[in-house]
Structure 1
Amino acid sequence: MTDTVSYAHAVVPTGDDRTGLAADLAALRDAVVADGEARRAAFAAAHGPIGPGIANLADYLALRRHDIRPLQRALMARGLSSLGRAESRVLPTLDAVAVALAALAGRPAPVEAPGDDAFFAGERLLAANADAALGPRPAGRDTRIMVTLPSEAAGDPGLVLDLARRGMDIARINCAHDGIVAWEAMARAVRTAGEIVGRPIRVLMDIAGPKIRTEAVVAADKARRIVVGDTFSLVAGGTPEIVGDAVAAASVSLPEIVTRIGVGDRVLYNDGKMEARVEAADGASALLRVTRVRAGGVKLKPEKGLNLPDTALGLSPLTAKDIQDLAAVVRTADMIGYSFVSRPEDIDLLETVLADTGLVPPSLGLVAKIERPEAVANLPALMARVAGRRPFAVMIARGDLAAEIGFERLAEMQEEILWLCEAASVPVIWATQVLESLVRDGLPSRGEMTDAAMGARAECVMLNKGPHVGTAVDVLDHLLVRMAGHVHKKTPMLRALGAWSPSDA
């Protein structure tokens, strides 16, 4: 009988049964090939012709249907790949392991061994797609740095030049603020800075989308903070009024959401600093009771974001303002940031609006911001719909995403998004609150430095605006250069360590 050990809720063979391992591996490969072919056919039928990236994504989705932990551990004990780095090369990895396992057993190889070109083709495709969407890879590091420009950049080209000299590779313009004149001034400053520093700097213009925010706010006691157990109301229209024992009331930027939320739905305020549940709703207003809030409570203020993870909003990702803005954006930007995208049909909607402008070059990139559960669930279809149309990247909008899916699931979900995008050869932007304390206050936290280092596995890391953003670019640049020598995606690079010497023994 084969010896076994218990590991991670799986039973793992520990004997030297190479024949059994080879059979298990062959069965897994056969299942992946069959399921992958079906998925490729489904992608092609729904989205049109697919390229090698989406074909490999189909195989990766097929592979990840299986719990391969027992097989991984058995292969590790024999010095073979654990299959844990198969994202960009699913079938080549399975084939390489099968050939090596057959060689160990002294049997003929069951498949042809993949050459280096085939094995690393996915990595090369991802690098090419990242160059097309995000600009050339900077010298010394694999990951680009994106910086959100403040409004002052429109009148201060020196600010933009300073960021470029420190290492900014992409400038982000948030079209929820300022206006066309300011956006064009910022973009000109970015182009000029690129010429001065001798390297191209891309411009991402992030269209606003249907942002759900508080507007007018009234409070029963302006000095009092809202705590757990308090109630407040949201109103669909008119001037908000205090009703009953509510401590505050607010109107909202999109009144229709008040007509769609129902009793029991959660509402999160200001990036999750407060969570409440709807206790009553009549279409004109909704009464909410606070169930969770940060220490010390919060004040309800205007222009703060609201997330409704339990509510079917039915909102178009493009507002009338977005459609008007796009005519200016396509003349100015290298990339468009697309908020609230959730379904493949949202991609079609944007393409239709872009075509109506008559100004869209094929090189114009698209960045899909993943910020709602529907976008996560539909990510493979979103990538398949865009593939081949134009340069494309995915932004993990971690602030909204955490509020929508729960903070406890964010770490897991951002990992899975990274894996899927690598499988599809789609570059990723790691965004929201990177080095936030450093940008705001001039000093980072230990957790922020670790988070920024994890961002090195993406093709781009985004910094928000703030008084110390220049220092943050310096810190991030140095950190990403160092991390480039230690890790590529999920693969440790094992460069020589210089922190220890024989005298340390």
Structure 2
Amino acid sequence: MKSTPSLKEMNDLYQTLFELRQNVLEQGMKMYQAVSPSIRRSSFRFSALNLAFYLAIRCHDLRPLQEKLLLLGLSSLGRSEARTMANLDAVIASLGRICHKQEHELIAYPAPKWFFHGNRLLAHNSNLIFGIHPDASYTNIMVTMPPEAATDYKLVRNLLEAGMDMARINCAHDTRDMWQAMLHHIHKAEKETKKRCKIYMDLAGPKVRISQVLVPGDDDRVFTDDFFFLARGKISDYPADYTGNVIITCSIPQVFDHLQEGDSVVIDDGKLNCVVTRLTPQGAYLRVISTKAKGFRLKNKKSLNFPKTPLDITPLTKKDLTDLDFIIHHADAIGYSFVRSRADILLLQDELYKRMGNKARNMAIIAKIETRDSVHNLPEIIVQAASRNPFGVMIARGDLAVEAGYHRLAELQEEILWICEAAHIPVIWATQVLENLVKTGIPSRAEITDAAMSERAECVMLNKGPYIVKAVSSLADIVKRMEGHQYKKAPQLRTLHIASDALKAFDN
């Protein structure tokens, strides 16, 4: 058994923490001063500073320190996201007093006002985007509007009554007239239910898909180790000596500007995984690495992902710019797909200011984090966006899993949650939440646990399906129950019924 730390060990720990504090202050201030001139929203200054401190402290491996702090009953620094320096100062202040440091060596305890200021900022930023909850809960529910929402008013009203806080209209689907009809039904339901529903409209973005399929062979299915051809131009432009069964083209042929032999190609969200084996002037030969045993049928409009290929494609298409003219008059928040860098955010902000002038500063932007680049560049994306607009992040788990690999999804999801909390930025937990319940009316056990974990985000998104009203009602119940037990990474130690019942049993 490990003995109680000696006074020398505690003094050494104090010195290590003090030096860590100096390093974090120096590095954090350096990062903050580099971005502070571009911050237009004064409310983001504290958040930008805290983000800088958090990034500085997370450059260190804190695990050895955490173990030593736990032995003293002190905070292990594991809840530093929203209040990095305040948390570190509180630990050093307590340890200094345990070590009987002289008055001039002690650090003052942070004032409660600053200790919890980050939580208040996060709540404020969440309210700007999702509205204020009448029951004071902090997890909102977003629902993707199905085409039926344009014609079935009762469906929209039922969704609002079941717990929908924000309606998502995906501009990649349906028509402008249908969007208008959906908006009419939402606003009508708001008046009748006396419940506010925010509007989120998703720009389609440059989604790469199969645009054409040609089957010169006798089967449109491909199996593991089969070869097929991805044509660079027209579907008829393929090598004369090609003998495979299937040729496809992609909707954005600019991918060939960067495609290399050995690059991965993922089709239909991972149902078909391929590798580029050879490039020709006409296109690329693809070998199937994995798919289901019965083979995969290549079809038009299926998604194409190139995880290892740097795609220099603008995230704002001509269609997006046209849709933006409609969106700015109806949406509370704009969903921005395929964001990879600070420059992508600036591009959208400039387009908003062209159309809206100074009113653009009130339009919320939601960046969909769905690529490895967007994860890597998340701090700069946050700073650029939140410096000028209310801002939130959507963890687009489907595309992110395809781009980064399923085995890394859980890890990246946590990192995104932590960095956003450090910047006091609300997060939307999206993709396949309660998918079985939405589609069949019966949830899987695993997706109930996933839904419970989604409570750590400020909003959860459900996709359309025949049982969507039931799913909204179920999700509202799940997150409300979980809010009594968990806030972000911190357990909330409310009265545990199991403990109370056990105590009564022993008393009897």
Could you tell me which residue of structure 1 aligns to residue 92 of structure 2?
A: 98
Q: CA RMSD in A?
A: 2.1
SS in 1 for 2:94: helix
Q: TM-score, normalised by structure 1?
A: 0.93
Q: How does 1:156-171 map to 2 (within 5 A)?
A: 156-171=152-167
How far apart in 1 are the matches of 2:33 and 2:151?
52
Check if 1:281 corresponds to 2:274.
Answer: no
1:140 Cα offset (Å): 5.7
In 2, are the aligned partners of 1:394 and 1:429 still within 8 Å (CA)?
Answer: yes
Q: Which amino acid aligns with 1:66?
A: H
1:4 Cα offset (Å): 7.6
Check if 1:330 corresponds to 2:328.
Answer: yes
Q: How does 1:79-478 map to 2 (within 5 A)?
A: 79-107=73-101, 108=103, 110-137=106-133, 139=135, 141-219=137-215, 225-239=221-235, 244-358=242-356, 360-478=359-477
SS in 1 for 2:129: helix
Q: Structure 2: any 5+ residue segments left out of the alignment?
A: none
How far apart in 1 are the matches of 2:60 and 2:492?
27
1:452 Cα offset (Å): 1.2
1:441 Cα offset (Å): 1.6
In 2, are the aligned partners of 1:170 and 1:202 still within 8 Å (CA)?
Answer: yes
Could you tell me which residue of structure 2 aligns to residue 9 of structure 1?
A: none
1:241 Cα offset (Å): 7.4
1:295 Cα offset (Å): 4.7
Cα distance, 1:449–1:112 mapped onto 2, change above 3 Å: same
In 2, are the aligned partners of 1:218 and 1:242 still within 8 Å (CA)?
Answer: no
In 2, are the aligned partners of 1:145 and 1:460 still within 8 Å (CA)?
Answer: yes
Q: Greater shift after overlay, 306-315 or 240-249?
A: 240-249
**1:72-121 CA deviation, whole Å, 9 max, x = no partner?**
11111111100000000011011111111122223336212112111000
Cα distance, 1:496–1:247 mapped onto 2, change above 3 Å: farther
In 2, are the aligned partners of 1:236 and 1:259 still within 8 Å (CA)?
Answer: no
Cα distance, 1:346–1:248 mapped onto 2, change above 3 Å: same
1:28 Cα offset (Å): 0.9
How far apart in 1 are the matches of 2:134 and 2:269?
32
Cα distance, 1:504–1:224 mapped onto 2, change above 3 Å: farther
**1:164-183 CA deviation, whole Å, 9 max, x = no partner?**
00000000000001121111
1:234 Cα offset (Å): 1.6
How far apart in 2 are the matches of 1:241 and 1:187?
45
1:389 Cα offset (Å): 1.4
How far apart in 2 are the matches of 1:263 and 1:155?
49
In 1, are the aligned partners of 2:395 and 2:429 still within 8 Å (CA)?
Answer: yes
Q: Structure 1: any 5+ residue segments left out of the alignment?
A: 6-12
Q: Greater shift after overlay, 421-430 or 340-349?
A: 340-349
Check if 1:55 corresponds to 2:49.
Answer: yes
Q: Which amino acid aligns with 2:223?
A: V
Cα distance, 1:294–1:59 mapped onto 2, change above 3 Å: farther
Q: Which amino acid aligns with 1:64?
A: R
Q: TM-score, normalised by structure 2?
A: 0.93
How far apart in 1 are the matches of 2:170 and 2:498?
42
1:259 Cα offset (Å): 4.3
Check if 1:32 corresponds to 2:24.
Answer: yes
How far apart in 2 are the matches of 1:94 and 1:447?
36
Q: Greater shift after overlay, 180-189 or 372-381?
A: 180-189
Q: By percentage of residues, which structure has more helix? A: 2
1:450 Cα offset (Å): 1.2
In 1, are the aligned partners of 2:353 and 2:360 still within 8 Å (CA)?
Answer: no
Q: How many residue pairs align between the two structures?
A: 496
1:475 Cα offset (Å): 1.1
Q: Which amino acid aligns with 1:114?
A: P
1:247 Cα offset (Å): 3.0
Q: Which amino acid aligns with 2:201?
A: M
Could you tell me which residue of structure 2 aligns to residue 487 of structure 1?
A: 486
Q: 1:22 aligned to 14, 20, 23, which one?
A: 14
SS in 2 for 1:475: helix
Q: Which amino acid aligns with 2:75?
A: S
How far apart in 2 are the matches of 1:295 and 1:94?
54
**1:378-415 CA deviation, whole Å, 9 max, x = no partner?**
11011111224121100111111111111110100010
Cα distance, 1:172–1:498 mapped onto 2, change above 3 Å: same
In 1, are the aligned partners of 2:165 and 2:198 still within 8 Å (CA)?
Answer: yes
In 2, are the aligned partners of 1:235 and 1:258 still within 8 Å (CA)?
Answer: no
Cα distance, 1:284–1:216 mapped onto 2, change above 3 Å: same
SS in 1 for 2:262: coil
Could you tell me which residue of structure 2 aligns to residue 8 of structure 1?
A: none
1:504 Cα offset (Å): 5.8
Q: Which amino acid aligns with 1:286?
A: A
Q: Greater shift after overlay, 417-426 or 468-477?
A: 468-477
Cα distance, 1:180–1:224 mapped onto 2, change above 3 Å: closer
How far apart in 2 are the matches of 1:338 and 1:78?
46
How far apart in 2 are the matches of 1:120 and 1:247?
62
1:221 Cα offset (Å): 6.2
SS in 2 for 1:332: coil
Q: Greater shift after overlay, 356-365 or 384-393?
A: 356-365
Q: Which amino acid aligns with 1:352?
A: D
Identity of counterpart residues, as a percentage? Answer: 43
In 1, are the aligned partners of 2:39 and 2:388 still within 8 Å (CA)?
Answer: no
1:222 Cα offset (Å): 7.0
